Structures are given as C-alpha cells and as structure tokens.
Amino acid sequence: MSRPRDRPEAVAAVPAAAILIAIGAISGSRALAEARQLGPVIGFLAAILVLAHLCDDDGLFQACGGWMARAGAGRPGRLLAQVFVIASVTTAVLSLDATVVLLTPVVFATAAKLDVRARPQVYACTHLANSASLLLPVSNLTNLLAFAASGLAFGRFAALMAVPWLAAIGVEYAVFGRFFAADLHQRPRPQRAERIEDAPLPVFTLTVVALTLAGFAAASAAGLNPAWAAFAGAAVLAVRALARRRVSAVALVRAADVPFLLFVLALGIVVKALVSNGLGRALTPLLPGGTSLPALLAIAAVAAALANVCNNLPAVLVLLPLAMPSGAGAVLAVLLGVNIGPNLTYTGSLATLLWRRILRQHGSAPDLGEFTRLGLLTVPAGLVVAVLALWAGLRLIGG
C-alpha cells in the first residue's frame, strides 16, 4: 500500500509468494493451480485497462469534461450531478481505474475552468469508483473474481446488481448534497462555461465500447469467457490507433500495467496460503450460511470490515471460498461489502490510495478526518440499502 520509492506493488507481493512456496506454506502445484484459476481474470483486467487507455487517447474523457462544463453552467450542484452520471457510467463500463486515473484529472480541470470548488466532485470520483462498481463483472477486479465464483451468467449478474447499484449511488448523492452544502451553494459563474471549448465526441470509440459491452453478455450466454469480448474491443481500438500512429506498441504494453497484473497473481497465491493455514477456519464462524436478509447483512458487514483492515482485494480472495457454499447470493453480498465498504478508510481499496496520490499531485491532499466522516455517513447506509435491494432481487428473480 505504501509503495516505497514509487515501486510497483509487485516488488512486495511476488517475493512474498515465492517465500511462502519455499517454506512449504503452499505447495508449488497448488500455487500453479491458483495461478491458472486467476489467469482468465487477469487477462480480462489487462484488456479492460488497455481499452480504457485507448478511450482516453481518443478524447472520450475530454469530451465528457466539456459536456460537464456546459451542462453544469457554472452551478456546483448541477456539476456534481453531471460528475455522478459520468463517474457511475465510467466505473460500470470501463472499470473503477478509469474513473480514478482518467476522470479525476478531468474533473479537476473542469472545476478550475468554471471557478467552482472541486472538493465535492473529486470526492465523488473516489466514492463512485468503489460504490458504483457493483453493476457489471468488468467494473472492478473484485467483481471479476466474484463473477467467476458465482456461477452466474453475465446478464443475470447485472440484473441482480442493477438495483443495489442504483441504491448505493442514490445514498451517495443524498449524503453528498448535505455534506458539501456550503461548497454546492457557491455563487454560480455561468460566464465561465461560455469559454469552454467543445471537444469532439469520439463516435467510433463509443460504438466499439458499446459493442464490447454487448459482447460480454453474448459471450457469457454462449458459454464463452467474456474476456474474449474485452480482447476484441481492445484489439479494434489498438489496431486503429497503431495504424494512425497515435500510440506505440510499448505504450499499449505499459497501459496493461504488467507489474500490477503480477501483483494480483502473487497476492492470490499469498491469500491462498493464508486461508489454507488457518485464516479460513478462523473466519468461517463469522459468515452465516444461507441467503436470508440477516445472513446477507452479516456477510456484507464482515466483508466491509475486512476490506478496511487489509484492503478489498485480499478480502474478497479470502471470503469468496467461504461464501460459495451458500450460493450466488452470498457471493454477491461479499461483493457489496468489499465495494461499498472501502469508502470508509484510505486503505480500503487500491483505487482510493491511487486517488489520494492524484490529489496530492494537484496540490489538494484530502483531509483524513473529512474523508472518514463522509465514509461514516455513506458506508453503513449504502450497505444496508444495497443489501436490501439484493435480497429483494434474489426473492424476485432468483440467484
């Protein structure tokens, strides 16, 4: 989490995995089996990272910034609503990394052009990168892991998570309106919006993204790994960008973030060793069986607490094997906890840590007390309404 001297996360995780194999905490064959299980998920993640990078190169986020500036018309409250829409859709379709890394700087620039306070909008980016990543398997690495464990088809996963997704976003929006009331009632400056230059909307890129999204559902329905659709979408945009010499092959490899992929792989092996050597037995009594409303609430609460103690990625790797015997509903409850819960602390998710670093680069380091107070208002309420929505969905359409 601290990444000393800006080293990639892999410099800690890969040696840790190697040490655990060497001392016999996990055998080489079991580590290899875990790597094979995580392989499709990691490939999927690489394709989505490249796809998001190419969307940024084609000006998609700059176009979004121009639209937010014009639609906001210098009114902070209206601008916040635009950020909520763009951040929620970006997180759902292009993953939370796109929201944190690509959209947050655009939001900073848009607020500066309109001469409004950026605090509500930039806080919305990190909160929605976590809580708005519930909708699709591609929205978050934790979702990809849960999707593989749930046994659900792409469409059924999205159908069950749609109402919890909307519920969590609704709670965030209601709380933000009260929490940042002073910033949002700042005197409007509509004259600033008139000087915003129009950025052309990349229609071809949007079309490829829409077809890729449809391909996820089609591949899942056909019994294929949805990663193939992600690779196809990324390949189309990559070939076009390479042909136009707008990107290099080296830049595409860098966009895939191979050190982070190695970190995820090594972390999976480390967590597997921990679960096999007592952690699983220690946590099993904390997770109730079944998918009753009290059981789902307890599972989500445990997942949220563990995410804030040790980060949401290892938390989901630990809890999924324990939740799987209770069915898809329990797996999705874990997902609610590890996606909504991280808004409580900086260390809850890697996305929040990265967002914090981006704010510091813009000379606007977040306040720990403010971040925690906002999390205390949004996380418990968001978790309860999202679990209620999930429970109702399971009763109506089944898991």
Report the alpha-carbon distance of residue 357 to residue 4 in Å, rounded. Answer: 13
Q: Where are the chain's structural domains?
A: 26-397
Query: Which whole number is the average pLDDT over 263-278?
Result: 86
Tokens encoding 348: 């809850």
pLDDT over 60 (residue 1): no
Per-residue pLDDT, 317: 87
- What pLDDT, in 10s, does the model give residues 15-59? 999 999 999 999 999 999 988 888 887 888 888 889 888 988 888
129-182 pLDDT, tens digit each: 999 999 998 888 899 889 988 989 888 999 999 999 999 999 999 999 999 998
Separation CA 38–CA 264 (nearest Å): 9
Q: Is the pLDDT of residue 2 over 70?
A: no
Sign, CA torsion 354/357/359/361: negative
94-137 pLDDT, tens digit per residue, is 888 788 878 888 888 888 777 788 889 999 999 999 999 999 98
pLDDT at residue 346 in the model: 84
**Helices 227-243 and 203-221, interaxial angle, to 10°?**
160
| pLDDT surpasses 50 at 193 | no
Instruction: For residue range 310-364, list pLDDT tens digits in order.
Output: 888 888 988 999 999 999 999 999 999 999 999 999 888 878 877 887 887 777 7
- 8 Å CB contact between 220 and 153: yes
- How much is the pTM? 0.81
The pLDDT-based confidence of 74 (bands split at 50, 70, 90) is low
pLDDT at 4 over 70: no
Q: What number of residues does the chain have?
A: 399
pLDDT above 60 for 201: yes
Say what the pLDDT of residue 399 is: 66
Q: Tokens 């601008």 label which residue?
A: 79
358 class by beta-carbon count within 10 Å (0-12 exposed, 13-18 middle, 19+ buried): middle
The closest alpha carbon to 86, from 306, 69, 207, 385, belongs to 69
